[in-house]
Structure 1
């Protein structure tokens, strides 16, 4: 896929407007130069497992919410 884009200058930086189909997912990207080419790649989001592994344990205990409920092996008539 190829498209022609406009280059603009805003507040001293150069801006490239990406046409539909060239959007980069997320809110951050890494840009690098390879000769005359610019390569833009999305920053990979951490996996849910990595996010959860980085969380601190809760400093309090949650109340027991199952009290008074039927167990899964009891049948309601």
Structure 2
């Protein structure tokens, strides 16, 4: 059986808000919410990939010096 608990809704600025009781706490700092009929479903957001994080970074504007680097010697395996 699913656990449930009666909670109060309140206003936070222009938004309606709810305090999530400790026993329903979600991991992380982000969540996803959607509506199914008169139900609101809230679930933990999946972890962001490194690629998604890197795509949001600003490009590096620095110029890097040329590096004289000889090719490695061949290795017999």
Q: Which runs of 4+ in 1 moved over 6 A?
A: none
RMSD of aligned Cα (Å):
2.1
Q: Quote the Cα distance in structure 1 between the aligned partners of 2:16 and 2:50.
A: 34
| TM value normalised by structure 1 | 0.58
The one of 30, 33, 38 aligned to 1:31: 33
Q: Quote the Cα distance in structure 2 between the aligned partners of 1:43 and 1:10.
A: 22
Q: Quote the Cα distance in structure 1 between the aligned partners of 2:20 and 2:27.
A: 12
Structure-1 residue corresponding to 2:50: 51
SS in 1 for 2:34: strand
Name stretches of at least 5 consecutive residues in structure 1 with no aligned partner.
60-77
Q: Quote the Cα distance in structure 2 between the aligned partners of 1:19 and 1:42.
A: 15
| TM value normalised by structure 2 | 0.58
- The Cα of 1:10 is off from its aligned counterpart by 1.4
